[in-house]
Amino acid sequence: KLTSIMPSPAALVHHFKSEIVKNYRKYIDDPDVAQEFKKIVEQKSWKG
Task: For 7-47, write each residue's pLDDT tens digit.
Answer: 677 777 777 778 777 777 676 677 787 788 778 777 766 55
Give the separation between CA 28 and CA 35, rounded to whole angstroms.
Answer: 9
pLDDT of residue 19: 78
pLDDT-based confidence at residue 1 (cuts at 50, 70, 90): very low
- Give the domain ranges of the chain: 7-44
Give the separation between CA 26 and CA 10, rounded to whole angstroms.
Answer: 24
**19 touches 13 (CB < 8 A):** no
Q: Is the pLDDT of residue 4 over 70?
A: no
Give the separation between CA 11 and CA 31, rounded to whole angstroms.
Answer: 29
- Identify the burial level of 42 via C-beta atoms within 10 angstroms of its C-beta, where 0-12 means exposed, 13-18 middle and 19 or more buried: exposed
